[in-house]
Amino acid sequence: MHFIDSHCHLDFSELKNDLNAHIARAHKRGVQYFIVPGVTYPQSAALLQFAKDFAQCRIALGLHPYFIEQHNDDAFSLLQTLARTHRNDIVAIGECGIDATCANIGYQSELFVEHIKLCNALSLPLIVHHRQSHHLIAQALKACPAQYGGVIHAFSGSLQQAQYYINRGFKLGVGGTISYTRANKTRQVLSQVPLESLLLETDAPSMPLSGYQGQANEPHRLVEVFEHLCALRSERPEQIAQQLYSSSCTLFRI
């Protein structure tokens, strides 16, 4: 079976020093490609070289709400120029979105809408970060629909919220959260939505699976996320793997 890790920060310091080993280990378990998102302007700019160094990695450019206080006033216009210049070297715009646990929600929302406009201008999908912010994300998507869809990274929420995104062309990112029994609501939702609406992700080095708390998450654990998902779904594992792989390829045009 083959897999794509649709969201992992392989350029972060926890993984970068030993990256060839991490990629080889994941590859041995069937993970063929990795989507590495942008989080700040300087890091997004550095990703362009990163993608040349690691052929299995595809990249996105974006300003993450978690770093809202680090983004300079000209960060988005620089990012925009970078994305337009390197349109053929990127597969999405993001990671962007709204995080209600971070500062400057108003500015976060404005910046998010700018990312959606950029996606639409470049015919690219959007990688969306949310935390306690579904209503704000929905407001932004109403003001400016994402014409090429995207993925709701680390989806957690109700069936109604899941359907809202699916109806607007979004996939739901399935990560290590589903390994925790306390995530019962999300687990139930992910067992019910159409298989075609799901993508696999680790968010490595973040979001360790149950049993690995306190450790850096690693991209080979994508296969364990997959096994947890299989336990929730009625389809055969081969069918699940095949559908998720092909959904990732279609969304990111791999």
- Paired tokens of 35: 């989507």
Residue 129 annotated as binding? Answer: yes
* Nearest to Zn ion of 100, 195 (CB atom): 100
Cβ–Cβ contacts within 10 Å for residue 253, how many?
A: 11
* Nearest to Zn ion of 114, 203 (CB atom): 203
Query: What are the DSSP calls for 48-96, one per residue?
Result: HHHHHH-TTEEEEE---GGGGGG--TTHHHHHHHHHHHTGGGEEEEEEE
Q: Residue 98 Cβ, how far from Zn ion at the closest point, in Å?
A: 14
Output the CA–CA distances (angstroms, integers) from residue 126 to 7, 152, 170, 243, 244, in the order listed. Answer: 12, 8, 9, 20, 18
Residue 73 annotated as binding? Answer: no
Residue 9 annotated as binding? Answer: yes
Q: Residue 67 Cβ, how far from Zn ion at the closest point, in Å?
A: 11
Which residue, among 96, 92, 175, has the nearest Cα to 128 in the 3D structure? 96
* Nearest to Zn ion of 16, 28 (CB atom): 16
Residue 228 annotated as binding? Answer: no
* Nearest to Zn ion of 11, 114 (CB atom): 11
Q: Residue 119 Cβ, how far from Zn ion at the closest point, in Å?
A: 17
Q: Residue 224 Cβ, how far from Zn ion at the closest point, in Å?
A: 18
Output the CA–CA distances (angstroms, integers) from residue 171 to 44, 45, 103, 117, 142, in the order listed. Answer: 23, 26, 27, 19, 17
* Nearest to Zn ion of 11, 95 (CB atom): 95
Q: Which residues contact 68 (CB under 8 A, 6 or more apart)?
A: 102, 103, 104, 107, 108, 111
Cα end-to-end distance, the chain, whole Å: 17
Residue 130 annotated as binding? Answer: no
Q: Are 251 and 93 within 8 A, CB to CB?
A: no
Q: Residue 192 Cβ, how far from Zn ion at the closest point, in Å?
A: 25
Q: Which stretches of the chain bind Zn ion, using CB under 5 A?
A: 95
Q: Which residues contact 86 (CB under 8 A, 6 or more apart)?
A: 48, 61
Q: Are 99 and 133 within 8 A, CB to CB?
A: yes
Q: Residue 7 Cβ, how far from Zn ion at the closest point, in Å?
A: 6
* Nearest to Zn ion of 95, 218 (CB atom): 95
Question: Residues comprising the binding site for a divalent metal cation?
Answer: 7, 9, 95, 129, 153, 203
Question: Residues comprising the binding site?
Answer: 7, 9, 95, 129, 153, 203
